[in-house]
Amino acid sequence: MSQNVRLYTNSQYSSPYALSVYATLLEKGVPFELRTVDLAAGEHLSQDYARLSLTSRVPALVVGEFSLSESSAIIEYLEEAYPQPDFASVYPDDLEQKARARQIQAWVRSDLDALREERPTTVIFGARNPAPLSPQGQQAAEKLLTVADLLIDDQGNHLFESWSIADVDLSVMLNRLCANGDPVPGKIKRYVERQASRPCIQQWWALAKNIRSI
Amino acid sequence: MSQNVRLYTNSQYSSPYALSVYATLLEKGVPFELRTVDLAAGEHLSQDYARLSLTSRVPALVVGEFSLSESSAIIEYLEEAYPQPDFASVYPDDLEQKARARQIQAWVRSDLDALREERPTTVIFGARNPAPLSPQGQQAAEKLLTVADLLIDDQGNHLFESWSIADVDLSVMLNRLCANGDPVPGKIKRYVERQASRPCIQQWWALAKNIRSI
Ligand SMILES: [Ca+2]
Ligand SMILES: [Ca+2]
Ligand SMILES: [Ca+2]
Ligand SMILES: [Ca+2]
C-alpha cells in the first residue's frame, strides 16, 4: 500500500488510545504522519474533524479516502489492511490468545473509571498526583492488580509468547499506579518497566514531554 | 465444532452487550445454552464467575475449556471460531465497512454515558422514564442522532449491504430514545423498527419481559 496514512491524536499526547494506535503503526512498520487536535480549543468539534472522525473523538486514522475513529476499530483495521508477512502482526496468531488480547483491550477501555480519572496518564509523563485514591479508585486499583496478577507471570514477561498490542494497553493502565508511586507488586512493576522501555511507548511519552517543555 | 457453548448474561436481560453476543450466536447459527448471573445478589463477584470471566462482568462466553468476557472480544472470537461458509458472518466482508461496523460498536460502548444512564434499556422492555433528559443527556442524544443521520439512508435500511451486528448495537442505542417517546426523525424510527423486529432482538426482549412478569 502506498496511500498516505495520517494519525490524529490530542495535542497533549495524553490519550492512551492514541498511543495504542501509534504503537500499532510503529510495530507493524506502516509509515504515517502524526497530526494533533487541540481538544481544549475545541478543534475536535470542527466540521472538518467531525467529517473525518464521525464521532469527533481522538484518535482518528486517515488512509487515502477512508477515515475512521475508535482506537480498537483502527487497530483491527490496520491488522487486516497491512497483513503478514509484509507487515508485523500486533495480535497473537492463536485464536484464544487473540481473544484474550481483545478482552484486555476492551476491558481497560470500559472499566476502572475511577482509576482512569484519579490517575490520568499525565502521572506517567508529567506530574504525580499526590492525592490518595478515593474508595472507588482504590477498588478499581485492586481489581486491576488482581486481574494483572492472573495474567502476568513471575518474570514479568509479555502476556503471550511474543509481544502484542494488549501489552501496551495493560502496561499503560498499570503504569498509572507505578509512575505515581502507588503500591504495586514486584512482578507487575517488572512487567510495566519492560513494556515502558519498548521504543513504541518511549517515543510516544517523549513527544508528550516535549510538548510540556515548550 | 461440537463443544458446549454457554452465554452468561445478567438475570434482568438488560445488558445491551449480552444482547449483542446473543444476537451474534443466533445469527451465526451456533447452538448455545443461556445462563444468568444475578448482579443484585453479587453472583458476578463469586470466585467461580471471576475465574471464568476474569473481569467479573457480563456477558461471558464459555466454549469447552475456554472462557472469555467483554462483548466485543466475544463477538470477534465467535466470528473467527465459527467462520463462513458453515456459519453466517455478522460483519461485512468489505474491509472498510467492517472497520466502520467495529467503530460504531466501540463508540456506543464508550461514549454517550449520560444517555445510557438516563435512558437505560429498561425503557425498551419495561417502563418509560418520564423525566426529561438533562443537558448532558440532551447533548448525547443530539450527538447520537447526528451520527445516525449520516449512517442511515432515507429508507432506514441496514447500515451496510446486508445486516451486520453493528445494526444491533446502533439500533438498540437509538431505541433508548424511540421506545421512551423522545423525539426521533422518521427515517431513524423506521431503521429502529426494522431492526427491533428482527428475531434475534425480539426473542431477547421477550426473555427480558418474561422475567419481569414472573
Ligand atoms: Ca477513541
Ligand atoms: Ca509469558
Ligand atoms: Ca462486557
Ligand atoms: Ca443501505
Q: Note down the domain range covering A69.
A: 5-89
Average pLDDT over residues A118-127: 95
Q: Examine the fold and report which residue of A89, A106, A127 is the final residue of a domain before the chain moves on.
A: A89
Q: Examine the fold and report which residue of A89, A124, A151 is the final residue of a domain before the chain moves on.
A: A89
Same domain, yes or no, for B76 and B108?
no
Q: How far is the CA of A212 from the centre of ligand 3 (A)?
A: 36
Checking if the pLDDT of B81 tops 90, the result is yes
Proportion of chain A above pLDDT 90, given as a percent: 96
Proportion of chain A above pLDDT 70, given as a percent: 99
Q: Name the band, by pLDDT with cuts 50, 70 and 90, for residue A117.
A: very high
- Whether the CB of A5 is below 8 Å from some CB of chain B: the reply is no
Q: What is d(CA A76, CA B98) in angstroms, rounded to the nearest whole number?
A: 9
> How is residue B162 written as a grid cell?
446486508
**Residue of B52, B56, B72 for testing the chain A interface, max A β-carbons within 10 Å:** B72
Average pLDDT over residues A123-138: 96
As a 3-state breakdown, chain A gives helix, strand, coil percent values, each rounded to 5, of 55, 10, 35
Same domain, yes or no, for A69 and A102?
no
Say if the Cβ atoms of A55 and B111 lie within 8 Å.
Answer: yes
B140: domain CATH number is 1.20.1050.10
- Whether the CB of A195 is below 8 Å from some CB of chain B: the reply is no
Say if the Cβ atoms of B73 and A147 lie within 8 Å.
Answer: no
Pairing of strands A33-37, A5-10: parallel
Pairing of strands B33-37, B5-10: parallel
- Whether the CB of A65 is below 8 Å from some CB of chain B: the reply is no
Say if the Cβ atoms of B105 and A80 lie within 8 Å.
Answer: no
Q: Which residue of chain B is at minimal alpha-carbon distance from A63?
A: B96
**Residue of B17, B49, B66, B70 for testing the chain A interface, max A β-carbons within 10 Å:** B70
Checking if the pLDDT of A214 tops 80, the result is no
pLDDT at B211: 85
Residues comprising chain B, all counted: 214
Q: Name the band, by pLDDT with cuts 50, 70 and 90, for residue B154.
A: very high
Say if the Cβ atoms of A66 and B109 lie within 8 Å.
Answer: no
A55 interaction partners in chain B (CB closer than 8 Å): 103, 107, 111, 143, 147
- Whether the CB of A68 is below 8 Å from some CB of chain B: the reply is yes
Same domain, yes or no, for B102 and B197?
yes
Residues A164-192 have pLDDT tens digits of 999 999 999 999 999 999 999 999 999 99
pLDDT at A212: 81
Q: Examine the fold and report which residue of B69, B89, B109 is the final residue of a domain before the chain moves on.
A: B89
Checking if the pLDDT of A139 tops 60, the result is yes
Same domain, yes or no, for B155 and B196?
yes
Checking if the pLDDT of B3 tops 90, the result is no
Same domain, yes or no, for A107 and A179?
yes
Checking if the pLDDT of B13 tops 70, the result is yes
How many domains does chain B divide into? Answer: 2
A70 interaction partners in chain B (CB closer than 8 Å): 102-103, 106-107, 110
Same domain, yes or no, for B174 and B102?
yes
Instruction: Give me chain A's average pLDDT, please.
Output: 96
Residue B210 lies in a domain: no
Residue B213 lies in a domain: no
| Ligand located closest to A162 CA | 2
Average pLDDT over residues B47-62: 97
Same domain, yes or no, for B81 and B172?
no
Q: Name the band, by pLDDT with cuts 50, 70 and 90, for residue A2.
A: low
Checking if the pLDDT of A159 tops 70, the result is yes
Q: What is d(CA A188, CA A194) in angstroms, rounded to the nearest whole number?
A: 10
Q: How far is the CA of A70 from the centre of ligand 1 (A)?
A: 4
CA angle A60, A61, A63 (to 5 degrees): 155
Residue B136 lies in a domain: yes
More reliable by pLDDT, B108 or A1: B108
Residues A203-212 have pLDDT tens digits of 999 999 998 8
CA A105 vs CA A102, A168, B63, B70, B161: distances in Å: 5, 9, 21, 9, 29
ipTM confidence: 0.96
The helix (run of H) or strand (run of E) holding residue A5 is strand A5-10
Residues A48-93 have pLDDT tens digits of 999 999 999 999 999 999 999 999 999 999 999 999 999 999 999 9
B74 interaction partners in chain A (CB closer than 8 Å): 99
Instruction: Give me chain B's average pLDDT, please.
Output: 96
Q: What is d(CA A135, CA A114) in angstroms, rounded to the nearest whole number?
A: 9
Same domain, yes or no, for A129 and A72?
no
Same domain, yes or no, for B102 and B190?
yes
pLDDT at B214: 67
Same domain, yes or no, for B114 and B195?
yes
